[in-house]
Structure 1
Amino acid sequence: MSLQDVSAALLRFPELEGLNFHGLNQFLRMACLARQTIAFQQVNNRKPPPVLPLPILSTLATSLNATDTHLIQTCWAAFKEVLWEHPQVSPTDEEILAYNNAALPNGSSFRHIYPPVRACSNTMCSNYRETDEIMTLTEPMTHKATLYTAKNGALPVYSSSLYCRQCHRRYYHNYFVHKESSSRTYYGGVPNVIQVAQHFFIESALLELFANGMVFGWLSASNWARIYNCALADPNAHIANNKLAFASVYQHYKRPVPEGWNLELRNTDVTNGFLLYSLLLEKTERAGILMLPHDEATQKDRLQPALAERNKAMEGIGQEHWAHACDLCFVVFEDDNGNLMKIQSAHCDGDTIGHRSCKAHDCKTPLASHRRHFCPDHEHLTLKCAVIGCDEDVAAGHRTCRDPEHRALETTYFSRGKALFQLRSRLKKAGVAVQEDSVPPGMSEGDDDEVIIEVGRKGPVAVDCDGKAETGNRTLRAYFGSRRTHNEQLIMRSCGVILSRATFFGSEAVSAVNDFAKATFPSPESTPEFFVFDNNCKLDAHQRVINDRHFENTGKPVDVFHFTSKHKLTDHHCQLYCNPAAFPEMILKDGKWRFNTSICEQTNVWFGGFISVVQDMEVTRYNFFLDEMIKRRNRYVVGQLEAKGHCPWTIPMEALFPGKFQ
């Protein structure tokens, strides 16, 4: 607003001459905060209303500590045209608090959440309009809600929806629902604010922060909720968290919670927000529209079909950087005859991350709940002895049969009580050094992680989750807790871009690795020149036995570390076909390796950090979460490669799948 606008207003309304600049500025700023609510109540939105509605007038008077409502109406009459065209303002925390204290009792709020349309968007409806200037939607429904923001903290707000009486659609902030439909149809694109539960909304900017914290900090939804509630929910959290240090100003900056609102961010809202935000991003990137069931009782159930659909699309070649190539993983050179040759490598390895699964070996049917140890198809095995290989029924009150040795396993398991022994096992499995006497022995019956017990020469002994006994003895084995999948297998390029991921349920069998590799490289043109895997000798032998020629043009060296430490010199097949020194194309003239053959171990340092984040996730969310983490990390890795000049490019899909994309 220019000084000319002020001068013109004073000429038309001389009663404003006594208003000082500070008072005028405060009115203009507060009126800008009310602009959205005023516009929402107008049928014709082309021009501002001549006078303020009484609830808005009351809100402005209270927020400005003004007793003369006539003066406020006069200010509106003088400056309404300017305010209608320029409503943007960045309020201070004090202004937001003052406005909300006045607006909430009147059924409105700062950042009141409305539908993005005021006229029906159905082109076949008589209420359809190309613009929202004329409001054709009616029957507003308003309820209390909480908006979690990145800048202004947790805000008490109201949320409203509108209804079209002609085509029977109700329009909400993110989606619309037809009266006779059971689906939510999202508008398309990624909104600035996402509804994560009926009464809770989160800014997309904040959800992006949550997602990056998960990728690079391995932060769980619970930890993000704690961080937000302690450090971001209140703009003056540094004062609220340190009352003694800020005793003189604490009461001034203390922000009370309005009655009827819950401003505490829940971990379920972080999780649902991250999942919904990721789905909206995915649909927008693929020019699609997200549709979710509307009648489901919980947001968890509502998201499930869309998550499962995306999980299926991610299998094999689904990652967006699957066709990535750069000069660290794709090398073009001249051979001795002057011909151009290309070498591309892929690397495969597993990490012992897993989700709860059926205790029947290699069963892929999901559990009905985390409380179950068997899937519905194998529930009858609950009545069988927990010792592997024993088909006898359990004795009453026990998890084993009457066999004395089997009963000894059960006695040993429960006698170790209190779960601390298992905590040590988890640390050891995660690669953390733990002194043997640092944690008293014990294991809790209520802890449901996978546990294996063996009987050695000196009686029952406990073993780690990987099945290796501390004494080296191997006789009887038993699962008394629930079972987890064996590992997560990754295939990646030597530059660090992850191409695909797969869950191995029972073991890291070479047949499963072969199927995974073929799903990742489904055409002969897509297979790499070199496939690096620590058990390539067994993989190659398996392919030869079953006469699988899919990778007949792919060299299969074992990475240098595993070859020198875990492969026997007497294994003729391994030495002949998998010795990395037998592949001169992999070695530069100075004796260095052309590709980083240890990329899997380096990547697993990052990937293994999610073991505590995903350990209790339901399987559909587990798969979606890990695929999303890989997708986001790939984008970061490719960005770093571009910044360092490693010439990333994407191989045309037509070159890898001739004729498929014509």
Structure 2
Amino acid sequence: MSLQQITAAVQSHPELGLLDFHGLNLFIRYASLARETIELSQSDQLECPISLPQQILCVLATALGEKDTRLIEICWSAFRGLVWSQPTVSPTDNEILAFNDAALPHGTCDDKNLLTLTDPLTHAGTLFTLRQGALPVFTTSLYCRSCNIRYYHNYHVHKQTSLRTYYGGVPDVVHVAQHFFIESALLELFANNMVFGWLSATNCARIYNEALSTPRQHILNNKFAFTAIYHDTKHFTPDDWTLTRFIRKEDTMNGFFLYSLLLDKAEQGGILMLPHDEASQADRLKPALAERNSAMEGTGQECYAHACDLCFVIAENADGQLMKTQAAACDGNSIGHRSCKVHDCQNPLPNLRHHFCVEHQHLSLKCAVIDCPAQTAPGHRTCDAQDHRSLEAAYFTRGNAMFQLRARLKKAGVAVPDDSVPLEDAAVGVEDDHEVVFEIGPQGPVEVDADDCDGKPEGGNRRLRAIFGGRWTHNEQLIMRTCGVILSRATLFGSEAVSAVNLFAKATFPTPESTPEFFIFDNNCKLDAHQRAIHDDHFKNTGKPVDVFHFNCKHKVTDLHCQRYCNPAAFREMIGADGKWRFNTSICEQTNVWFGGYIAIVRDMEVTRYNFFLDEMIKRRNRYVVAELEAKGHSPWMVPMKALFPEAMEL
């Protein structure tokens, strides 16, 4: 606002002399905040109204400390063109407080809704922002009688189809539940907390509520340190607001999923559509999550075609010809989701309380001892056999849930502190998800390590194997480039069988042109033997070395097949002119330190959410890795997809 504009306005409206420059500036800023509410009363939102509704006049007068609305009417007459033409105002914390104090009694908080024709439905809500904390708002939906569509903040719903059709692009504010809205900037912070901090939705919500829910939260949290100003500090949300100013963990997670879907659709140039009549937001999101999960399988990661000088080398061969050498590595991590207790069954569970899928539900009353066909006794998980009953008693006294979960964290190689395990997981009790082995001897049952029990038991003892709790999938398998970019992920349900790894590798490299020159896997000797046994020549041009660490530690010198086909030193292309390894063959082991950090977050996720969450974490981490590679001068580029899949590109 220029001095020339102010001078002209005062000459036309002498009453403006009652306001100082600060008051005039505040009027324009407050009027801009009220603009979208003003638009709701307009038949044409592009047209600047000559006069304001009485409700808006009262709000602006209260915010500016005026007793009547006459001066506000004059200010609007003088500066309405400026208010209507200027860009969106970024209000200060104090301006938001003052405006909300004035607007809430009149129900006129800015809801940023789309203008439409008639039948407005308004209800209160809470907007969780990154910088201004939790704000009370009103949201209004409107109905078009000619096209039978009701328009909401992020989407519209046709009366006949009952589908939520989202507007194109990614909104600044995401409507995550009926009464709750979250800024996209805050959801982006939550997503990065999950990627780089292994934070659960619970911990994201806790951090927000304790540190960001008001702009003065540091004062409220430390009242003894800020004694002089604590009592003068005003909460950002009025005490009489009927909705909570604390974000809930379910809205944090639903917001993350919805925001990620909107981002994905915007990147693909599509429109998100969800069922409108589902009972919960989790059920509403499930079909779209499943659709994206299917698109991610095999070659779906956006960085799939990545190549750089850490994973893609062009060098002369013995004949002086330039040849490319590209490497990929594969390994598993013991995180997983709940699954049917029948070995290798991939059917989903009806819900997380069940131990068997619908097909195998009849086995729910079978004795927990694996080889026992008898039914369980009432109140027990084993039959009446004395040994089985004593094994059950020993199992349930062997340790608490926190001990078991921490043991799995250690097994996964997680680099996060034990106290990061969410409290609710420890409170409800976590049962073992894997087979337990007890030796039954004269002194009763004694548990032995299932990984080290291939030898014979001690004299006179015998071993019993059982699964008392629910079961989780065996591991998550990753295939990645040796620079750190993850190409694909797959769930192995029953075990890390080489047949399953072979199918996963073929899904990741589905054409001969897409197969790498080297595929690094810690059990390549058995994988190669399996491929030869079934006459599978898909990877006939791929060398299969074992990574250097595992080859030295876990592969016998007497294993001639391993020494002949899988010794990394036998592949000269993997060794540079300086005598050092060209590729980081232990990249999977290093990446698993990051990937294993999600074990406590995903172990009780529904399978559709589980797959989407891990794929999204990988997608975001890949972007970071590629940016870091570029910053360090490793020249990332993308291999043309036609070179990888020529047959598909011709169709």
For the superposition of Structure 1 and Structure 2, which TM-score range results when normalised by the shorter chain? over 0.9
Q: Deviations over 1:239-286 (max 9, x none)?
A: 111111112211222214342122110011110111011111111111
Give the counterpart letter for 1:313 in structure 2. A
1:574 aligns with 2:562: yes
1:359 aligns with 2:344: no
- Rounded to whole Å, the distance in 2 between the matches of 1:541 and 1:245 is 68
Q: 2:175 aligns with which of 195, 218, 226?
A: 195
**1:19 offset after TM fit, Å?**
2.2
Q: Indicate conservation of the 8 Å contact 1:240/1:254, yes or no.
A: no
1:106 maps to 106
1:9 aligns with 2:9: yes
1:155 maps to 135
- Rounded to whole Å, the distance in 2 between the matches of 1:315 and 1:375 is 23
Q: Indicate conservation of the 8 Å contact 1:352/1:608, yes or no.
A: yes
SS at match of 1:259: coil
SS at match of 1:376: coil
2:480 maps to 492
1:209 maps to 189
1:391 aligns with 2:373: yes
Aligned runs of 1:215-226 on 2, under 5 Å? 215-226=195-206
1:591 aligns with 2:579: yes
Aligned runs of 1:39-50 on 2, under 5 Å? 39-50=39-50
SS at match of 2:50: coil
**1:38 offset after TM fit, Å?**
1.3
2:522 maps to 534
**1:48 offset after TM fit, Å?**
2.3
Aligned runs of 1:381-420 on 2, under 5 Å? 381-416=363-398, 418-419=400-401
Name the CA shift for 1:491/1:432 in 2 (closer, same or farther; >3 Å): closer
1:455 aligns with 2:463: no
TM-score, normalised to structure 1, is 0.92
Q: 1:341 aligns with which of 298, 317, 323?
A: 323
1:175 aligns with 2:155: yes
1:520 maps to 508
1:132 maps to none
Q: Deviations over 1:50-81 (max 9, x none)?
A: 22211001101111121132111111111111
Give the counterpart letter for 1:38 in structure 2. I
Give the counterpart letter for 2:511 in structure 1. S
- Rounded to whole Å, the distance in 1 between the matches of 2:496 and 2:211 is 43
Unaligned runs of 5+ in 2: 416-425
Q: Indicate conservation of the 8 Å contact 1:456/1:471, yes or no.
A: no
Q: Indicate conservation of the 8 Å contact 2:29/2:89, yes or no.
A: yes
Q: Deviations over 1:345-377 (max 9, x none)?
A: 110000011111111101111111111111111
- Rounded to whole Å, the distance in 1 between the matches of 2:532 and 2:313 is 28
- Rounded to whole Å, the distance in 2 between the matches of 1:82 and 1:445 is 59
Q: Indicate conservation of the 8 Å contact 2:401/2:431, yes or no.
A: no
SS at match of 1:574: helix
1:54 maps to 54
**1:501 offset after TM fit, Å?**
0.2
Aligned runs of 1:643-658 on 2, under 5 Å? 643-658=631-646
Q: 1:475 aligns with which of 463, 468, 481?
A: 463
Aligned runs of 1:137-156 on 2, under 5 Å? 137-156=117-136
SS at match of 1:660: helix
- Rounded to whole Å, the distance in 2 between the matches of 1:565 and 1:170 is 65
Q: Deviations over 1:607-660 (max 9, x none)?
A: 011111111111110000000000000011111111122121111111111132
1:371 maps to 353
- Rounded to whole Å, the distance in 2 between the matches of 1:284 and 1:536 is 40
Q: Indicate conservation of the 8 Å contact 1:485/1:504, yes or no.
A: yes
- Rounded to whole Å, the distance in 2 between the matches of 1:447 and 1:215 is 25
What is the count of residue pairs matched by the alignment?
A: 633
Q: Indicate conservation of the 8 Å contact 2:330/2:480, yes or no.
A: yes
Q: 2:281 aligns with which of 277, 280, 299?
A: 299
TM-score, normalised to structure 2, is 0.94
Q: Indicate conservation of the 8 Å contact 1:196/1:202, yes or no.
A: yes
1:280 maps to 262
Give the counterpart letter for 2:648 in structure 1. K
Unaligned runs of 5+ in 1: 120-136, 434-442
Q: 2:630 aligns with which of 638, 642, 648?
A: 642
Q: Indicate conservation of the 8 Å contact 1:452/1:478, yes or no.
A: yes
Q: Deviations over 1:481-527 (max 9, x none)?
A: 11111000000000000000000110000000000000000001111
Q: Deviations over 1:380-400 (max 9, x none)?
A: 111111011221111222211
**1:421 offset after TM fit, Å?**
4.4
Name the structure, 1 or 2, with higher relative contact order (CA <8 Å, separation 6+): 2
- Rounded to whole Å, the distance in 1 between the matches of 2:560 and 2:45 is 83
Q: Indicate conservation of the 8 Å contact 2:413/2:592, yes or no.
A: no
SS at match of 1:477: strand
Q: Deviations over 1:59-104 (max 9, x none)?
A: 0111112113211111111111111111532222111111111111
SS at match of 1:108: coil
SS at match of 2:532: helix
- Rounded to whole Å, the distance in 1 between the matches of 2:586 and 2:620 is 22
Give the counterpart letter for 2:13 in structure 1. F
- Rounded to whole Å, the distance in 1 between the matches of 2:405 and 2:498 is 31
RMSD, matched Cα? 2.0
Give the counterpart letter for 2:186 in structure 1. L
2:82 maps to 82
- Rounded to whole Å, the distance in 2 between the matches of 1:492 and 1:299 is 34
1:325 maps to 307
SS at match of 1:637: helix
Name the CA shift for 1:224/1:173 in 2 (closer, same or farther; >3 Å): same
Q: Indicate conservation of the 8 Å contact 2:440/2:446, yes or no.
A: no
- Greater shift, 649-658 or 419-428, is seen at 419-428
- Rounded to whole Å, the distance in 2 between the matches of 1:445 and 1:456 is 29
SS at match of 2:330: strand
SS at match of 2:252: helix
- Rounded to whole Å, the distance in 2 between the matches of 1:148 and 1:632 is 23
Give the counterpart letter for 2:92 in structure 1. T
- Rounded to whole Å, the distance in 1 between the matches of 2:428 and 2:218 is 42
Give the counterpart letter for 2:51 in structure 1. V
1:230 aligns with 2:200: no
- Rounded to whole Å, the distance in 2 between the matches of 1:51 and 1:576 is 88
SS at match of 1:173: coil
Q: Indicate conservation of the 8 Å contact 2:434/2:472, yes or no.
A: no
Q: Deviations over 1:551-607 (max 9, x none)?
A: 011000001110111011111111111111111111123221110001001100110
- Rounded to whole Å, the distance in 2 between the matches of 1:506 and 1:467 is 15
Q: 2:598 aligns with which of 610, 619, 630?
A: 610
2:419 maps to none
- Rounded to whole Å, the distance in 2 between the matches of 1:479 and 1:294 is 41
1:245 maps to 225
1:501 aligns with 2:489: yes
**1:469 offset after TM fit, Å?**
5.9
- Greater shift, 503-512 or 258-267, is seen at 258-267
1:129 maps to none
1:270 aligns with 2:252: yes
- Rounded to whole Å, the distance in 2 between the matches of 1:106 and 1:588 is 74
1:556 aligns with 2:541: no
**1:29 offset after TM fit, Å?**
2.0
Name the CA shift for 1:305/1:13 in 2 (closer, same or farther; >3 Å): same
Name the CA shift for 1:471/1:227 in 2 (closer, same or farther; >3 Å): farther
- Greater shift, 583-592 or 212-221, is seen at 583-592
Give the counterpart letter for 1:45 in structure 2. Q
1:20 maps to 20
**1:451 offset after TM fit, Å?**
4.9
- Rounded to whole Å, the distance in 2 between the matches of 1:613 and 1:328 is 32
